[in-house]
Amino acid sequence: MDVETPSYSGKINQVLERFLDPGFKINSDVYLNLLLTHLTGTPDGKDSSVTIPSHKIFHAWITKAVTLWKEKKVKPQPSILSFALNLAGSLSKDEQIFVKFNTTNTYENLISVVRLDGEAIVKLGFINLLYSLLEHKSGVQWVVATSYWMDILSLILKPQTLYIRKQGYQFFIKLLEKTISFNRHFGLCIVGSMLNPIKEFIKNLPKSSQDLEIQSQPTYDTLHPALAFVTEVLEVLFRNLNMDVLKLFVEQEIKELINSVLLLSQNEEFSFELLKIKLLLMFYQLHVDLRGLKVIQETKASQEVMGIFNLLSSEIVKDHPRTVIKLCHQGVYYWKQIDKNMPVCFRQGELIEFENQMVIFQLLPIMVFSFNTIGEQYSANSLNDDDFKREYMIKLLKKSAAQTVQLAYSFKNRLLALPNVIDHAVYALQFLLRSKQFYSRETGALVFQPLIYCLQDCLQYCSKNRQLSSPKSKLLLDSLLEAIVVYIETFSLTWKDSIETICVMNLAYEFLNISELLLEPRLVVQGLKLLNTAISKYMSPNMVLLIDTPRDSILGHIGPVLYAKCHNPNWEIRDSALEVIYTLCSNAHTRYPSFQKILLDAGLPQLILEMALKDGESFVRATALRCLQESILVPTIWGVFNELGDFYEKILGIFRDETEGVVRKEAALLVCKIYEEHAVADHAHPKIYDVMTHAATADLHWEVKVNALSFWEKVVNRHLHHQGMIDGTFPSVTFSKENRKIVTLNAAEVRRRLVKTLDVLSANGCLAVFVAAIQDDCDLEVSRTATRIAGKFVTLLKQYEVSVENVNSNGLTNVTSPNCWSGASAPMTSSDGTPTDVSPDMELEVTPHSTLSSFFEPVSPECAPPISPSLNLDPHPSVSSDSNSPGVGSTPEFSDETSLYANGFAVPSNPAALDDIVNANDINLLQSIYDPSDQRAGIGGTVSMRTRRVLSPGEFIEFAYKDVDTHVEDRAQWLSSLDEFGSLLDDILRDYNDGADVNDMDCY
């Protein structure tokens, strides 16, 4: 849109004028950010409300603002000054606008008002302005010609907020990349200025200084920001492979500066900051020396990486194992930036990869911990007796360079001498999780194998000593289990990658049976996750061999373990146990039918049903319902549920009794799956239809409505299938049950069958649900879903030219829906024997079109977009809260003080009663609503249920043909209008006009 149009230009000028009023205060900076987005668009300049000629408005305003602030010495508010800087910067990305602004000296005048020792938002706006000028050549030349870049440099060489530092770093990276091609001397000047704090630090050191405790030095606040700045710039340039700019740092002798400081530093953390820079420079040199080569000999490779190994060796000698671990992580990260340009190295046919060298040092603390845990003698025996472990060590040596083996032995001996090796093992596990993104699948398997051996050793120790229960030990087990699960899932490891995968199931089972660990819920959860991963990835030996006989394996014993965990007081343990049961159910009806016996023998189907209904935690109930969704697909388990006479009542009761939407949405999916997969008993259809009508139209949670609409989609598809549709189309011929012969499905015959389908869908309330959901004015996604589902059906009706005349001459009449919680008659069948799910004694209520709109009123009256004018709300929807509630079509009795509200709640109609509520103390009102002792299963009432309404086929067709394609679009436009540019301008002006009289409660 063009802001110069009369509808916006006036308001923009008013808003900008208000910004110059010294008394103007914006209630929220969000307004300014939104306004800036509307005026300038996205960061790439798209979707802007401003056209190029519109810069005149802003140029005039910025000029006027600078004059007011500078010449009249008016101090601008920081938020307004920041707005001006950001607006000028965003507009200046266009080179034409930059030239016009620059000719009037706008930038100089604006920057002269900025105080860089002031608010953070002003500093950020100043950086953003200069950063925007780097988008074109004219702006770059202006930045080079001025000295404002030095102001940004002085900013970020001091402690600043994260946003200021990051944006400042990006400014200098882009400035160096833009200027290197035409002004290399300027680039050297910038790099020299960046390194100047380090030079000054070294220059001012006392001559007699031997050791340097860097944190105690007064210059630390200056040196540390400088190092962080240099490191960030170097890493981004290295990641972009901009070696020309990196060369500027080498020419400024950065390596010598870092070495000088490193020699003095005795602080491990600060040394690492220096070592990162030194390590990056080594990889830069590696890229310069080896780029373009295809294959390299091991001796040559060893010479090239000698500096990297010397760096690691120096930290090993200092007993800095954590620094070694972090340097290996950084080394793999840097290597991944250049590995595509690096040659490969072979030794006797074995590929020697750099990342594997770094992995070995990261794994050593874990291996040493395992060695210490089980003892030297047991470790030696284990290596001799376990062929797989010995084979792994041989493979590790084959993949290692000679330098790696030599340095690894030194590192191992140092680790064995340290007293807190468990801490280093935990640290190594944490960095293995961070480094996995750089590893190939083969390297991932190389890491996974020793993790399994470490877990095996820990469990062996626990079974003998039962003393691995210190906080540090539990932390290690937690990290170890997490790492195993993450590596299995990240690299999809199987027995082909690592034979150790077949041990995972046994180890998980053994871990869950260690009684001491039961007191630590997080460890039990991790153990259950490992068990779940082993089942889902088919890691049991029987599953690997596709043998479906788990009785004599560990799989045959996990049922009782899961049953016990489902009774644990900790809800996370119960939830994790249900996740394992879900995996078992999923496999029971696909790959491994014998899992059915595991589930049935342990009584798990009945247990998950009870948990879905009665567990005290909503997330557990939701997960239990997900388990039911899978378990009903297993024939034997479905038989168990069918034997329960009240299974349907229990599931449908969730919609009436459950308070949490996350549970009800899973219940809706469960009902949908039951209807799709099984032949539901005829007597259950009316209840299901009534409940799913409520779920799709009256539930307070939009996801419940969407899932319930999926159920109604299945209803439509089933009845179309009854009429002969196959895979979304009607075949040319089909067998007619009505005539007991093969009939030709010409257009007239298909039209007749579609009319019969409309009759059935009308009687079971499906058509009314679609109309109500399409007109849902509080949940746009519900309206969209209903439109999509109904739209496919309507397209079919249009294809075969089904009209109002067709349905009026054939449709059912005089049917009403029963109360869903009372008895219901058996469904009737149509003339060809297909079920209609309508009782013979039902009467169809045909509502006159002139008074019809949505049969279900909106859940929240405050959601007030306009309703389609073609339909009017039914003022008295039917409700029922329990089996004793009034029947359909009846209205509960209310006293003179109350009236029936849309959802069946009684609210006062007497004005005096309303005044009492308005004047009541807020706390008293809340206390009357909420009781801390309330429990999930008995809050003192149930949700008022809406039952089916019947919409005649003719009325549905009239509505659908006219409104179904436009209602959602109108609704979306209404929502988007809430954030329109004009509305935003009105809000800002209203804030100014209202001033201090604005009541904060108006926001509610």
pLDDT tens profile 397-436: 999 998 999 999 999 999 998 888 899 999 999 999 999 9
Question: What backbone torsions phi and psi does residue 761 show, to the nearest 5 degrees?
Answer: -65, -30
Are 83 and 32 in contact, with CB atoms under 8 Å apart? yes
pLDDT at res. 8: 63
**pLDDT class of 97 with cuts at 50, 70, 90:** confident
As a whole number, mean pLDDT of residues 668-696 equals 90
Give tens-digit pLDDT for 692-733. Answer: 999 999 999 999 999 999 999 999 999 999 888 888 788 877
Contacts 24+ apart (CB under 8 A), 593-596: 593/548, 594/548, 594/549, 594/550, 594/551, 595/550, 595/555, 596/634, 596/636, 596/637
- Beta-bridge mates of residue 744: 733
pLDDT at 138 over 90: yes
- Beta-bridge mates of residue 989: none
pLDDT at 816 over 80: no
DSSP, residue by residue, 267-291: -HHHHHHHHHHHHHHHHHHHHHHHT
Contacts 24+ apart (CB under 8 A), 859-863: 859/698, 859/699, 859/700, 859/778, 859/902, 859/903, 860/778, 861/902, 863/777, 863/778
pLDDT at res. 983: 62
The percentage of the chain sitting over the pLDDT mark of 90, rounded to a whole number, equals: 39
As a whole number, mean pLDDT of residues 531-541 equals 84
Helix 635-643 to helix 618-631 angle, to the nearest 10 degrees? 120
**pTM (predicted TM-score):** 0.81
Amino acid present at 579: E
pLDDT at res. 486: 96
Rounded Cα distance between 68 and 51, Å, is 27
Helix 571-588 to helix 604-614 angle, to the nearest 10 degrees? 130
As a whole number, mean pLDDT of residues 922-936 equals 35
| Structure tokens that stand for 153 in this block | 């440099």
Are 348 and 399 in contact, with CB atoms under 8 Å apart? no
Instruction: Of 36-40, 80-84, 485-489, 572-576, give the lowest mean pLDDT range.
Output: 36-40
pLDDT at res. 728: 79
| Structure tokens that stand for 415 in this block | 């680790």
Domain boundaries of the chain, sorted by first residue: 1-146, 717-896+948-979
Most confident of 365-369, 495-499, 910-914: 365-369
Rounded Cα distance between 95 and 101, Å, is 10
pLDDT at res. 802: 85
Are 654 and 663 in contact, with CB atoms under 8 Å apart? yes
Give tens-digit pLDDT for 960-991. Answer: 887 666 665 666 665 555 556 666 666 666 66
For the chain, give the mean pLDDT: 78
How, if at all, do strands 945-946 and 741-744 pair?
A: unpaired
Annotate 580-608 with three-state secondary structure: HHHHHHHHHCCCCCCHHHHHHHCCHHHHH
Are 529 and 481 in contact, with CB atoms under 8 Å apart? yes
Task: Provide CB contacts within 8 A for 930, sequence distance 6+.
Answer: none
Instruction: Of 19-28, 89-98, 354-363, 471-480, give the lowest mean pLDDT range.
Output: 19-28
Amino acid present at 762: S
Half-sphere exposure of 34 (CA within 13 A, CB side): 16
Distances from the Cα of 500 to the Cαs of 445, 455, 984, in angstroms? Answer: 10, 12, 62
CB atoms near residue 1004 (< 10 Å): 5
Are 693 and 765 in contact, with CB atoms under 8 Å apart? yes
How, if at all, do strands 295-296 and 344-347 pair?
A: parallel
Are 531 and 598 in contact, with CB atoms under 8 Å apart? no
Give tens-digit pLDDT for 879-904. Answer: 333 333 333 333 233 223 323 223 33
Radius of gyration of the chain (CA): 37
